[in-house]
Amino acid sequence: MRRYVSKLTNWHLGFRNLNPLMVCVDCGSGSLSKICSFSSCCANLNEDSVKDNPVSDMLTDSFGRIHTYLRISLTERCNLRCQYCMPAEGVELTPAPKILTINEVVRLASLFVTSGVNKIRLTGGEPMIRKDIEDICLELSNLKGLKTLAMTTNGITLARKLPKLKECGLTALNISLDTLVPAKFEFMTRRKGLEKVKQSIDTALELGYNPVKVNCVVMRGFNDDEICDFVELTRDKPINIRFIEFMPFDGNVWNSKKLVSYSEMLDRVAKKFVSVKRLNDHPTETAKNFGIEGHVGTVSFITSMTEHFCAGCNRLRLLADGNFKVCLFGPSEVSLKDPLRNGADDMILREIISAAVKRKKAAHAGMFDLAKTANRPMVHIGG
């Protein structure tokens, strides 16, 4: 089965029959005569695995997208002050009593998992700040049907706690690192800590995480000169460097001149690493993935600004304050915490979730419109 979906009728990523009028979910081409040449268009869907893990209607939107991936922000607090994530003056944080408790997180997560979610990613703020992070991982990893429990972290305090977190069921890691230069790190994060992040990456490798994903937001004039230095990290270690296009959020002073596009980043990599080759991507993959001959690790590009991947989106977000968000760039949110604390049963919560999922739009706005659209700072939404 080729990786195309119908743009003219409801479509289903491998869960139901595909309509013959197809559009590539990787490049979004709507022309029947124009087919994306990337190898990812030939990625096969494992229909048997979908049948074995049926997804309820609650997680299927009006365009037929099936949402099996839930990102849960555990806190709005962070021990760094990254410029693309948080305004210089800081942000007003939600009072602690209004943040989801461990029991509320687990109950809501259970609703999603029993409906078909098989991957959960813990984010923040900085999720390691939660004192009950180990208990949260243990409770979530024990949910029947959950296949992957991942975390995105800045790595500042990760190394010390990671062995225990792995024992508690944490199966995958993304560690944020935007520069390999100490002075730049301190400038970007407004804090020291580069060596601690490097130590966390090494610890993750030693504990057998494979790959260890390293998220790098690329900004012109700041770290775009380090792109190939990051790629070198993949030569001898199972590291997946994930170059992320700079995205607009409230307070991060986004400017298109700071944006380094996917095509420009790939061109820089290809000029130095001539054997770079596109890999097959899963239809719901957010990144465009590449391998380099002789390298143990891989390189990826997350192209939210220049080549969106909305057609294959399978992600939902539960924010630390209990709000539910169906699109990273969409301002619409609905509270799950309020009805939960007011005694709503599972059926009511499922109805609220389902209604929000059904309202999800086909695609987010273009990058210049996004820059003008009110949305919360990234630290509120979750990385």
Among 42-46, 115-119, 262-266, the range scoring the smallest mean pLDDT is 42-46
Give the C-alpha separation, 313 to 56, whole Å.
Answer: 17
Tokens 């998220």 — which residue? 215
Name the token pair of 204: 């993750």
SS3 220: coil
pLDDT at 92: 83
Phi-psi region at 125: left, alpha or beta (left = phi > 0; alpha = psi -120 to 50) = left
Query: How many Å separate Cα 65 from the centre of its chain?
Result: 17
∠ Cα 287 128 371 (to 5°): 45
Tokens 């937001």 — which residue? 217
Cβ atoms 238, 205 nearer than 8 A = yes
What DSSP state is assigned to residue 327?
-
Burial class (CB in 10 A: 0-12, 13-18, 19+), 275: exposed
Give the C-alpha separation, 272 to 260, whole Å.
Answer: 17
pLDDT confidence bin for 364, thresholds 50/70/90: low
More confident residue, 16 or 30: 30
Name the token pair of 113: 């998992």
Name the token pair of 366: 């273009």
In b/e form, how buried is each residue of 22-56, taking b as 16+ CB within 10 angstroms?
bbbbbbbbeeeeeebebebbebebeeeebeeeebe
Report strand pairing: 148-153 vs 334-335. unpaired
Residues 98-136 have pLDDT tens digits of: 999 999 999 999 999 999 999 999 999 899 999 999 999
Report strand pairing: 277-278 vs 172-176. unpaired
With a pLDDT cut of 70, the percent of the chain lying above it is: 76
pLDDT at 369 over 70: no
Name the token pair of 343: 């005694």
pLDDT confidence bin for 28, thresholds 50/70/90: very low
SS3 172: strand
Domains of the chain: 1-47 (no CATH), 57-312 (3.20.20.70)
pLDDT at 304: 81
**Mean pLDDT value across residues 338-346:** 98
pLDDT confidence bin for 48, thresholds 50/70/90: very low
Q: Which helix (H) or strand (E) holds 153?
A: strand 148-153
Among 76-90, 134-148, 184-198, 308-322, the range scoring the smallest mean pLDDT is 76-90
More confident residue, 27 or 327: 327
- Of 287, 284, 302, which is closest to residue 246 (Cα–Cα)? 302
- Of 74, 207, 202, 80, which is closest to residue 135 (Cα–Cα)? 74
Residue 183 CB coordination number (10 Å): 9
pLDDT at 246 over 90: no
List CB contacts of 241: < 8 A, sequence separation 6 or more. Answer: 214, 216, 230, 231, 233, 234, 297, 298, 299, 300
Q: Dump the DSSP string for 235-304.
A: SSS-EEEEEEE----TTS---GGGB--HHHHHHHHHHH-TT-EEPP--TT-SEEEEE-TT-SSEEEEE-T
pLDDT at 66 over 90: yes
pLDDT at 25: 35
pLDDT at 377: 57
Look up the pTM and report it: 0.82
Cβ atoms 230, 268 nearer than 8 A = no
